[in-house]
C-alpha cells in the first residue's frame, strides 16, 4: 500500500478557507456583531492582508444563521455595465430556495439578467446601448424585493469598493438605493486603499458619507502566527525549531507573507526533521526569487518620489524627514510628506509600533537588494531581484 502523500499545509495563493485563517477571531466576532445589529461596515486593509478571507468567514456564519449572503468583487471595474455583471455573477453563487426566488425575479423583470448562462454580458453584446444604469438600480433593489417576497434578510459584501471611483456617479447610484434597506439588508464594504476608502466614506462631498462603521485590519499577533506555524509543522511530523523566530521577525505579522514563508520553510524541512537557520535562509531565498516579478511590478507602479521614499524606509537609518535621508535618496525635503501620504493612502506603507514601515516585507527585502541606485531606466534588477547598476548615492 502506497504511503500517504506529504502535503504542504501552508497555502498562500488566493483567499483561504475560514478554517485556514490565522487568528482574526476578534475581528470576525466584531463584524458579526455589527451585522446582527443591522449595522453596515467598511473594512480597510492592505492587499494580501486577508480581507476577502475574513469577509467570507463572516458571510458563511451569516448564511448559517439564515441570511442570504452575496460577495461582489468590484476590483478594476470601469463601467456601470461591468458593475451590473459583477453583482449578477455574485448572485449566481446562491443556492436553494433563495436562489430560486432570485431566479424567478430575474425572469419576471425581463431586463436581461439571469442566473447562469450569458446573463447581462450577453445582453450587452447584443445591445451595447442598453440602459445599464436602470438595470443597476433595479438590481440593487433585489435585497428589498427578496425581503418582501420571502422575508429573507441579506448581507451584501462589496469587495474592493474603492474601484467604483473610476466609474463616474456609481457610488451615488449605489447609495440612492441601499440607504432605504434598513430592514432588508446589511452591507459590508471592503477596500485595500485607505486614501480612496476615506474619499468614499468620509468626504462630505461623496454620497456614501457615514454609510458604514469603519474597521481596519492590523498585522497579525506574532504569538498567534507562531502557534499556528508550530502546530502545523507538528501535525505534519516536523519541528519548526529555531527557524520560527527569524520568520516571525521578518514577516512582522503580514498574513500572506507569513503563510508564504512558512510554506517555503516547510518545503525545506524533511519529514521527521527540525528546521534550522539553513532551512530559513533557503526558504527566504526561494521566496525572494519567486516574488521578484511582483516586486518589480509594484516598483514600476510607483511615482519617482514614492520610489525614493520606499527606498528610504527600506534602507536608510537616518530620520525620515531629515536632510540626510533626503540627500541619500535624492528627494527634496518639501516632497517627503506628500510622497509618504501617497504611499500610506495606497497601503504601501503602514504605521506599526509608532513608526512608518513598508507594508510588504518582501518588497523591503527586494529594495535592500537594490541599494541606493540611480533613478534611471537601467537600474532594474535582474531575474532574481539583484541590483545590476552601480550605486550612485543619489
Q: SS in 3 state form for 143-163?
A: HHHHHHHHCCCEEEEEECHHH
What does the block give as the cell for 305?
518620489
Q: Which residues pair with 157 in a beta bridge?
A: 71, 188
Q: Compute the average pLDDT of residues 141-160.
A: 95
- Which residue ranges form the domains of the chain, and what is each CATH number? 24-216 (3.40.50.300)
What does the block give as the cell for 51?
480581507
Residue 1 pLDDT > 60, yes or no?
no
pLDDT at position 232 is: 95
pLDDT at position 377 is: 41
CA-wise closest residue to 313 among 354, 359, 353: 359
Classify residue 269 by its DSSP letter: S
Sign of the Cα pseudo-torsion (40, 41, 42, 48, in order): negative
Residue 371 pLDDT > 90, yes or no?
no
Sign of the Cα pseudo-torsion (72, 12, 363, 45, in order): positive
d(CA 97, CA 257): 40
Tens-place pLDDT, residues 74-113: 999 999 999 999 999 999 999 999 999 999 999 999 999 9
Residue 3 pLDDT > 50, yes or no?
no
Tens-place pLDDT, residues 288-336: 999 999 999 999 999 999 999 999 999 988 889 889 999 989 999 999 9
CA-wise closest residue to 74 among 162, 187, 186: 162
**Pairing, β 355-358 against β 349-352:** antiparallel
126, HSE (Cβ side, Cα atoms, 13 Å): 8
- DSSP element (H, E) containing 190: strand 185-191
**Mean of per-residue pLDDT scores for the chain:** 88
pLDDT at position 303 is: 95
Number of DSSP helices (H) and strands (E) in the chain, helices first = 17, 7
What does the block give as the cell for 178?
441601499
Classify residue 393 by its DSSP letter: -
Q: Of 97-101, 127-131, 345-349, 369-373, which range is least confident?
A: 369-373
Q: Under 8 Å CB-to-CB from 40, ≥6 apart: which residues?
A: 34, 186, 187, 188, 189, 211, 212, 213
d(CA 356, CA 295): 19
The pLDDT-based confidence of 24 (bands split at 50, 70, 90) is confident
pLDDT at position 372 is: 64
Which of 352 and 27 is assigned the larger pLDDT? 27
Task: Order the strands of the 154-159 sheet from edge to edge.
Answer: 68-73, 154-159, 185-191, 41-44, 213-216
pTM of the complete model beyond 0.75:
yes
d(CA 196, CA 345): 7
Q: Is 76 exposed, middle or buried (0-12, 13-18, 19+ CB in 10 A)?
A: exposed
Residue 386 pLDDT > 80, yes or no?
no
Amino acid at each position: 500500500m502506497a504511503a500517504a502523500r506529504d502535503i504542504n499545509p501552508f497555502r498562500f495563493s488566493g483567499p483561504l478557507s475560514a478554517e485556514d485563517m490565522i487568528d482574526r477571531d476578534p475581528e470576525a466576532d466584531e463584524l458579526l456583531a455589527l451585522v446582527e445589529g443591522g449595522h453596515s461596515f467598511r473594512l480597510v486593509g492592505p492587499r494580501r492582508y486577508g480581507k476577502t478571507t475574513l469577509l467570507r468567514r463572516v458571510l458563511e456564519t451569516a448564511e448559517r444563521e439564515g441570511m442570504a449572503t452575496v460577495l461582489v468583487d468590484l476590483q478594476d471595474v470601469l463601467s456601470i455595465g461591468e458593475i451590473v455583471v459583477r453583482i449578477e455573477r455574485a448572485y449566481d453563487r446562491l443556492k436553494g430556495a433563495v436562489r430560486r426566488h432570485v431566479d424567478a425575479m430575474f425572469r419576471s423583470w425581463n431586463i436581461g439578467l439571469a442566473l447562469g448562462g450569458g446573463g447581462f454580458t450577453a445582453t450587452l453584446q447584443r445591445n451595447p446601448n442598453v440602459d445599464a444604469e436602470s438595470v443597476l438600480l433595479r438590481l440593487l433593489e433585489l435585497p428589498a424585493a427578496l425581503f418582501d417576497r420571502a422575508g429573507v434578510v441579506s448581507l451584501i459584501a462589496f469587495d474592493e469598493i474603492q474601484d467604483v471611483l473610476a466609474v463616474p456617479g456609481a457610488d451615488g447610484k449605489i447609495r440612492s438605493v441601499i440607504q432605504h434597506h434598513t430592514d432588508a439588508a446589511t452591507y459590508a464594504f471592503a477596500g485595500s486603499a485607505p486614501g480612496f476608502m476615506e474619499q468614499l466614506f468620509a468626504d462630505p462631498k461623496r454620497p456614501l458619507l457615514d454609510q458604514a462603521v469603519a474597521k481596519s485590519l492590523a498585522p497579525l499577533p506574532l504569538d498567534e502566527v507562531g502557534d499556528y506555524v508550530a502546530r502545523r509543522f507538528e501535525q505534519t511530523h516536523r519541528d519548526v525549531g529555531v527557524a520560527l523566530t527569524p520568520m516571525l521577525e521578518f514577516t512582522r505579522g503580514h498574513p500572506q507573507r507569513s503563510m508564504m514563508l512558512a510554506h517555503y520553510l516547510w518545503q525545506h524541512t524533511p519529514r521527521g526533521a527540525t528546521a534550522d537557520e539553513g532551512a530559513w535562509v533557503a526558504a527566504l531565498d526561494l521566496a525572494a526569487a519567486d516574488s521578484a516579478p511582483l516586486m518589480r511590478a509594484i516598483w514600476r507602479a510607483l511615482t519617482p518620489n514614492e520610489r525614493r521614499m520606499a527606498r528610504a524606509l527600506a534602507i536608510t537609518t537616518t530620520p525620515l524627514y531629515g536632510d540626510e535621508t533626503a540627500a541619500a535618496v535624492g528627494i527634496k525635503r518639501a516632497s517627503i510628506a506628500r510622497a509618504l501620504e501617497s504611499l500610506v493612502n495606497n497601503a504601501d506603507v503602514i504605521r506599526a509600533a509608532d513608526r512608518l514601515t513598508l507594508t510588504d516585507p518582501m518588497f523591503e527585502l527586494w529594495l535592500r537588494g537594490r541599494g541606493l541606485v540611480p533613478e534611471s531606466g537601467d537600474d532594474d534588477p535582474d531575474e532574481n531581484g539583484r541590483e545590476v547598476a552601480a550605486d550612485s548615492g543619489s
